[in-house]
Amino acid sequence: MKEYKKYVVIGKKVKEAFNGNLPVVALESTIIAHGMPYPDNIKTALEVENIIASYGVVPATIGIINGKIVIGLDKDEIEYMGKSENVLKASRRDLPVILSKGFDAATTVSATMICADLAGIKVFVTGGIGGVHRGGTDTMDVSADLTELAQTNVAVVCAGAKSILDIGLTLEKLETLGVPVLGYQTMSFPAFYNIDSGFNCDYAMASTEEIAKAMIAKWTLGLEGGIVIANPIPKEHEIDSDYINEAIKSALIEADKLNIKGKETTPFLLEKIKSITGNRSLMANIELVYNNARIGAQIARDYNRLRLE
């Protein structure tokens, strides 16, 4: 038995999926505990699981309960994550202390990738990845998501990088780290609330099967690290880029005035943008996550079929 298993609990449905060689998709819990207000957070998390299950794929929402990594939170655990004020936010650096002290924590993109990889789950659906923050060349404020993508073998389905970031520098960093950025049926790299950030993906992929084949080729060759699968927000839910950028500028000014820094920056900015846009950003966030769940489920299904052939 591998030593790390004393820190890991596999949920019943996920265990059954593993035993039956069924496809599984990992989901993060930070979006539940820190990314959306109650009750939208719980409603969204459960609907994302339902969407994934509708494709014959098993959802595995990941979180930490009493110092144990739970791969496949049940409904009660998801509701606890969404209601409790005692749930910490866990990135790679936080895992050793949170597990050793027996704390509860929601997993960020980087921590969810680690946990998914431990369990052998290769597809992870989220909203948007972190990256280089605006002004990052001076502050060195760069998300741990990027270094995780460089070393952990998980494909991350996202609506690009969050609009609050410096997307150009984020893509430059991913290139340096050797992380492929694949656009699902697009060459334009999306900017979370917008279909087109003004930057390009490395490759446009015509189908989920093409993406699954690239995943298999990468890891068969021993090329360590993840893949970014950029899936644009549906056109009907896109927010005008000028409008959202003005909201982001206002939120950044407020964050600077209040000296908000580090891991508190993203939650503060997203909440501020939601307030400025009158919940339009929240609704867009929910719809893009649903859309990512649909594509992620199909990628997982294709990947599972191809690896078993």
Rounded-to-integer distance, Cα 97 and Cα 103, Å: 8
Rounded-to-integer distance, Cα 85 and Cα 191, Å: 30
The answer to whether the CB of 208 falls within 8 A of the CB of 299 is yes
Determine whether 209 is an active site residue. no
Determine whether 28 is an active site residue. yes
∠ CA 153-117-220, rounded to 5°:
40
Rounded-to-integer distance, Cα 134 and Cα 29, Å: 25
Q: Who contacts 308 (Cβ-Cβ below 8 Å, separation ≥6)?
A: 21
Report in angstroms the alpha-carbon separations of 83 from 39, 76, 105, 133, 136.
Answer: 8, 11, 13, 29, 33
Choice among 28, 77, 79, 148 that is catalytic:
28
- The residue written with tokens 């936080």 in the block is 94
Choice among 77, 79, 148, 162 that is catalytic:
162
138: three-class secondary structure by DSSP: helix
Q: Which two tokens stand for residue 297?
A: 């489920």
Which residue, 80, 59, 111, 90, is CA-closest to 300? 59
- The residue written with tokens 């943008």 in the block is 273
Residue 32: DSSP 8-state:
I
Q: At what angle do helices 109-119 and 144-151 cross, to 10 degrees?
A: 20
Rounded-to-integer distance, Cα 186 and Cα 174, Å: 18
301: three-class secondary structure by DSSP: helix
Strand pairing report for 194-200 and 188-191: antiparallel
- Known catalytic residues are 28, 162
